Structure 1
Amino acid sequence: MEKNELVSISQGGLAIMNPTTPEKVLAAGRAAVLREGARVVEPGCGNGTILALWGREYGISGLGIEAREDACRRSEETFQAAGLTDRMAVRCMDAREYVPDEPFDCAAAIGASHIWGGFAATLDALVGMVSDEGTIVIGDRCWRSDSTPPEFARAWPDVLTEYEILGIVRDAGFDIAAVFRSSPEDWDRYESGIWQAILSWLAEHPDHPEREWMIDYLHRIQDEYFGYGREYMGWAMYVLVPGFW
């Protein structure tokens, strides 16, 4: 099954397509000093929920960049339902090809590091989208410790420990102002949402040619989660500010 189609089936119905909560998203926005009139860009904006939350709470103007056409439509619906169409827009394109006309006050990639292939490459891309005083918010997976069994770590070569993330951030000239980690309950809710979406799809598509593949995929991600994901895999939002050194 094509990757974007799989994401739309398994996560398209989730308001926030990551193991976090609206409260933590708002807290990250507060730590990033978002305020009325600030301009924010979010590559990989999914359904537009995060920009909408920040728009309602902090009065920002936002631009989402999203490659999946169905997600672009959902983003537009989210902005319309929130009464934010005068301040929010989505551009349907590959975020790797986006070049801003002028720098933003904040750039956010929440669960979107796969676009560039890892945390360091994501940070480098976002730095190119903000002003010299701009802030950055990255939500990404991380290992809970540096003692993750090698057989599990090899399955996720792009995942870093938080100490490695700290080093990358400092090397880029930033400091971490705040971190908002996912709880076990956040993970359970997120993963359960994916399983339920897949099960609903299977019930609605009894004759689909890729039905068996989807069943195998469901069982594979559940094996992964119960086998080691819940114990060893973390996820957090890191709020980055220019360093004072």
Structure 2
Amino acid sequence: MDIPRIFNISESAHRIHNPFTPEKLATLGAALRLETGTQVLDLGSGSGEMLCTWARDYGVIGTGIDMSQLFSEQAKLRAEELGVADQVQFIHGDAAGYVAGEKAGVAACIGATWIAGGVTGTIELLARSLRTGGIILIGEPYWRQLPPTEDVARGCLAGSISDFLMLPQLLAS
């Protein structure tokens, strides 16, 4: 099992596979008020940057699952590099249908809600791994402004304008 080769080629040098920066990850971690020992599940974890940096910065523990063999290996190397390999594990596998054995304080899927058929299905999937009082964290692309043409949408790496919703429609879905 692996993602299409184009993603391994185009994103292999990326530590973060979404339109995020290290500063945004730090801000998000602070906003979540992560505490030492918080269990985090990251479905579609990519190269593990979110989980690894939160393990280093906040002392979280957790599991990341990604279908890319390359990204899963990069995540393990990043955990070693940051000295958090004893706090996090990365599994090469299909995150669709994955339910954690230990309930998480934060169950996340950033940029990969296709694993459960969209936002609603992903929320339902993450909820199965969430402890009472935990937080579901979803990152989903949306249009801030509709592209004027299908060609422009494809230039934004969407298949078509209909691939993404405007934020109000996404929230209503």
The answer to whether TM tops 0.5 is yes
Query: Quick check: which one's helix share is greater?
Result: 1
Q: Distance in 2 between matches of 1:3 and 1:48?
A: 16
Q: How many residues align?
A: 166
Could you report, residue by residue, the CA deviation over 1:120-156 in whole angstroms, capped at 9, with x for unpaired residues?
22222212221221112222211114x5547449804
Which gives a bigger RCO, structure 1 or 2 (Cα 8 Å, sep 6+)?
1
Q: Aligned runs of 1:11-90 on 2, under 5 Å?
A: 11-90=11-90
Structure 1 gap ranges (5+): 169-245
CA separation of 1:115/1:73 partners in 2, compared to 1, >3 Å: closer, same or farther? same
Q: Which residue of the partner structure matches residue 168 of structure 2?
A: 163
What SS is found at the alignment partner of 2:141?
A: strand
1:118–1:159: 8 Å Cα contact kept in structure 2? no
Q: Distance in 1 between matches of 2:8 and 2:113?
A: 17
1:103–1:131: 8 Å Cα contact kept in structure 2? yes
What is the RMSD computed on CA atoms of the aligned residues? 2.0
1:16–1:49: 8 Å Cα contact kept in structure 2? yes
Query: Quick check: which one's strand share is greater?
Result: 1
Q: Which residue of the partner structure matches residue 198 of structure 1?
A: none
Give the greater-gyration-radius structure (CA).
1
Q: Distance in 2 between matches of 1:165 and 1:37?
A: 32
TM-score relative to the length of structure 1 = 0.62
CA separation of 1:150/1:116 partners in 2, compared to 1, >3 Å: closer, same or farther? farther
What SS is found at the alignment partner of 1:85?
A: coil
Structure 2 gap ranges (5+): none
1:28–1:137: 8 Å Cα contact kept in structure 2? no
Identity percentage of aligned residues = 33
What SS is found at the alignment partner of 1:141?
A: coil
Q: Distance in 2 between matches of 1:69 and 1:126?
A: 22
Q: Distance in 2 between matches of 1:63 and 1:149?
A: 40
Q: Distance in 1 between matches of 2:116 and 2:7?
A: 17
Q: Which residue of the partner structure matches residue 140 of structure 1?
A: 140
